[in-house]
């Protein structure tokens, strides 16, 4: 009997967890390492999961848990700063008509669902561990870890995020570039009657929005121009977020009442990056935010990462020839889908920065959602 091929997955976020589950299902030996001791199980406020991401989660076998844990909805509202609803549009079901258009979830809950699936798959998991060096030869990749141990693998999958140390270690020079905007996020109780995402363009923030994440919870966010992080004290996060949102009407006064604990607020800059040409060097291949990232204007970051995992796993388990051609095929399947998402996400933010009042945000959003209905 042939010895199962061995794969190292670097990073235990959505992309790394997903590809681990899929490769284990096909009988490959998979080691997953994650730098954080808590496996990111408590990080983040909420996540908007579009239909094309739900399609992958169903393939992973976790759809029922996701459906039970999140809040499904199918429309998007545009409101004036005073809360007046200006327009409601039905979302395109990018995952197919048998799945909701969107599910809002608490991000830690989605992570815990994926963690449970990784554990159940039988993968070997090491937390608090990083990969330091990657030495490749004809037989595979020798990896040295931060604890001094080593391992030999047929393939290394770099799913270690936007700041990927693996990407740099294998000589890919691309780095995330700030787009000029930043976002404040917080989880909060769900006001009675809030049952979809509403967005407000204008007011003290470029965008103010919220998304239901369960019957009892939402996450809320406000987007502004990025500022020097050193100029914002962590203990002032609640004050800063309330300042941006206090002038908004509708559900916002009820939401703002719960913006109290600065430790529960997440502040991050928007970045963009798209690695061009190929997403691999030898037998080390990038997926997810290690290969591409963009502002959350279209809520497609996690979806693109999950699709990467699905496509790469399909290619790896469909042949014995793990060579440059296979990894180039992976790139060529993904780039026509990822590039429009990155470009459109950045374009929407740029329109906001430039104050373009007649920008066709709805038309661009619909175009991308229609594109994503096709299978990856």
Q: Is residue 205 part of a domain?
A: no
Question: Residue 129 belongs to a domain with what CATH number?
Answer: 3.50.50.60
Asked if the structure places residue 154 within a domain, the reply is yes
First to last CA, the chain: 33
Backbone phi, then psi, for 45, in 5-degree steps?
Answer: -105, -65
For residue 206, is it within any domain? no
Strand locations in the chain, DSSP E? Answer: 6-10, 29-34, 46-50, 71-73, 75-79, 85-90, 102-106, 124-127, 131-137, 140-145, 150-153, 155-158, 177-189, 197-201, 207-212, 217-225, 266-274, 280-281, 284-286, 292-293
Q: Report the candidate in 169, 186, 166, 158 with the shortest Cα–Cα distance to residue 13.
A: 158
Domain span at 327: 6-54+96-176+272-372
pLDDT of residue 43: 83
In the chain, the number of structural domains is 1
pLDDT per position in the chain (376 positions), as tens?
A: 356 799 999 999 999 999 999 999 999 999 999 999 999 888 889 999 999 999 999 999 999 999 999 999 999 999 999 999 999 999 999 999 999 999 999 999 999 999 999 999 999 999 999 999 999 998 899 999 999 999 999 999 999 999 999 999 999 999 999 999 999 999 999 999 999 999 999 999 999 999 999 999 999 999 999 988 778 999 999 999 999 999 999 999 999 999 999 999 999 999 999 999 999 999 999 999 999 999 999 999 999 999 999 999 999 999 999 999 999 999 999 999 999 999 999 999 999 999 998 999 999 999 999 999 999 9
Paired sense of beta strands 29-34 and 6-10, if any: parallel
**Are 66 and 106 contacting, i.e. CB atoms less than 8 angstroms apart?**
no
302: alpha, beta or left? (left if phi > 0; alpha if psi -120 to 50): alpha
Nearest Cα neighbor of 65 from 218, 214, 264 is: 214
Residue 138 counted as domain residue: yes
- Is 146 within the bounds of a domain? yes
What gap in Å lies between CA 300 and CA 91, rounded to an integer?
Answer: 14
> 97 is written with which tokens?
């008509």
Residue 17 lies in a domain: yes
- Burial class of residue 50 in the structure, from the number of CB atoms within 10 Å of its CB (0-12 exposed, 13-18 middle, 19+ buried): buried
Q: Does 249 fall in a domain?
A: no
Q: Quick one: which H or E segment has residue 312?
A: helix 301-317
**Quick check: is 28 in a domain?**
yes
Q: What is the pLDDT of residue 1?
A: 37
């Amino acid at each position: 009997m042939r010895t199962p091929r061995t794969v190292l997955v670097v990073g235990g976020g959505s992309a790394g967890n997903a590809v681990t589950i899929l490769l284990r299902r096909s009988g490959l030996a998979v080691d997953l390492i994650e730098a954080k001791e808590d496996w990111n199980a408590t990080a983040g406020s909420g996540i908007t999961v579009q239909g094309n991401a739900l399609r992958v989660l169903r393939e992973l076998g976790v759809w029922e848990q996701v459906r039970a844990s999140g809040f499904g909805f199918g429309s998007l509202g545009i409101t004036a700063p005073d809360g007046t609803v200006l327009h409601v549009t039905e979302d395109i079901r990018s995952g197919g008509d048998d799945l909701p258009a969107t599910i809002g979830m608490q991000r830690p809950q989605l992570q815990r669902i994926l963690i449970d699936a990784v554990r159940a798959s039988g993968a070997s998991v090491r937390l608090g561990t990083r990969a330091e060096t990657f030495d490749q030869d004809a037989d595979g990749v020798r990896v040295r870890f931060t604890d001094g141990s080593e391992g030999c693998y047929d393939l290394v999958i770099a799913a270690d995020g936007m700041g990927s140390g693996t990407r740099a270690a294998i000589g890919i020079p691309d780095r995330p570039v700030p787009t000029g905007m930043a976002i404040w996020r917080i989880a909060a109780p769900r006001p009675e009657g809030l049952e979809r995402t509403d967005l407000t363009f204008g007011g003290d923030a470029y965008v103010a929005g919220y998304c239901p994440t369960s019957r009892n919870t939402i996450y809320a966010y406000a987007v502004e121009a990025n500022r020097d992080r050193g100029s914002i004290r962590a203990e002032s996060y609640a004050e800063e977020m309330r300042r941006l949102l206090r002038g908004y009407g509708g559900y916002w006064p009820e939401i703002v009442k719960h913006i109290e604990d600065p430790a529960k607020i997440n502040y991050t800059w928007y970045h963009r990056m798209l690695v061009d040409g190929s997403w691999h060097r030898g037998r080390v291949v990038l997926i997810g935010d290690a290969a591409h990232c963009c502002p959350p204007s279209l809520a497609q970051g996690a979806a693109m990462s999950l699709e990467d995992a699905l496509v790469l796993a399909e290619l790896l388990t469909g042949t014995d020839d793990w060579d440059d051609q296979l990894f180039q095929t992976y790139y060529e399947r993904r780039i026509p889908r990822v590039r429009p998402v990155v470009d459109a996400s950045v374009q929407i933010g740029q329109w906001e920065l430039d104050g373009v009042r007649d920008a066709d945000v709805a038309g661009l959003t619909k175009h991308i959602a229609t594109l994503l209905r096709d299978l990856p």
